[in-house]
Amino acid sequence: MEIKTAIIDLYKNEYNEGIRCIKEIISDQGLGYDLYDVRYKNELPGTEYDIYVSSGGPGNPFDGLGTDWEKKYFNLLDNIIDHNQKEERKKHLFFICHSFQIMARYFKFAEVTERYERSFGVHPFVKTQSGSNDPILKALPDPFYAADFRQYQVIQPDNKILNDLGASIISMEPSDNNHEPAVMGVRISDEIVGTQFHPEADPKSMTYHFRQKERKESVVNKFGESKYIEMLELLEIPEGIKLTRQTVLPSFLKHAIANLSE
């Protein structure tokens, strides 16, 4: 039986490298895909797909409040969850960054707030005990490196709601004495999972971001020229974002394909 895949594009017509990376990873697994431009064209897939990958995107995760596209998006989530509760052949869904923040709003398992400062670059993240055994993270070291672009954050997880959902936190920011660490990954079920970081990012996409004049100036002004050069060098180490790209989304897709093929 054919496995149908949908990419849910939340970039709002902003030029990005994320969709290119997602397309490449899906294609590498031998899957085709259809692309839906949600925030710009109000396009949403139906429930005819087996796998959904919902992208990152710019801006405020609350800017969809009251809009037609967000109502359709939440309706799609309702339908996927309802389907998975009733049917043996489940639908698989991955949320990335902006989508992860919307995921937190939808399931209400944590607070979504503006971050104390914008996060931009390659950073280390840690696995929880659940994350150490999770299919998408278990092959990564602890900590692992990932691309992170955040003006907003998911914090103050509600353990009761997580338990009621049967969900688990799989990744966190490293502890910081000055700020509460943010939630970086949550698994809702065997089929539904999301990460705040960008698992699709590759050195090419990150180099594009780092070369943008305003972003380079921001890093240099805040951290210095040597830190900027270190960030560029970090893109090329095998155990950095290359490994994360090779591991997280491919593992999700392989797991989905295996389940759907049974």
36 domain residue, yes or no: yes
231 domain residue, yes or no: no
Q: What is the model's pTM?
A: 0.94
Q: Is 154 helix (H, G, I), strand (E, B) or coil?
A: strand
pLDDT of residue 226: 83
Tally of domains within the chain: 1
Given a cut of 90, whether residue 65 has pLDDT beyond it is: yes
pLDDT of residue 173: 96
96 domain residue, yes or no: yes
In whole angstroms, give the CA distance from residue 69 to residue 178: 37
CB atoms within 10 A of CB 171: 28
pLDDT of residue 116: 92
In whole angstroms, give the CA distance from residue 244 to residue 238: 10
Q: pLDDT tens for residues 234-250? A: 787 888 899 999 999 99
236 domain residue, yes or no: no
Q: pLDDT tens for residues 179-231? A: 999 999 999 999 999 999 999 999 888 887 777 787 788 778 877 888 788 77
* CATH code, 20: 3.40.50.880
Q: pLDDT tens for residues 32-57? A: 999 999 999 999 999 999 999 999 99
Given a cut of 80, whether residue 166 has pLDDT beyond it is: yes
Closest CA to 19 of 113, 81, 98: 98
pLDDT bracket for residue 99 (50, 70, 90): very high
Q: Which helix (H) or strand (E) holds 51?
A: strand 51-54
User: To the nearest whole percent, how much of the chain has pLDDT over 70?
Assistant: 100
228 domain residue, yes or no: no
* Ordered DSSP codes for 174-187: PPBTTBPPPEEEEE
Domain with 103 in it: 5-202+242-261
pLDDT bracket for residue 176 (50, 70, 90): confident
**What would the two tokens of residue 156 be?**
């103050």
pLDDT of residue 42: 96
pLDDT bracket for residue 178 (50, 70, 90): confident
In whole angstroms, give the CA distance from residue 35 to residue 87: 25
Q: What is the rounded average pLDDT of the residues 60-64?
A: 95
220 domain residue, yes or no: no
208 domain residue, yes or no: no
The mean of the pLDDT values for the chain is: 94
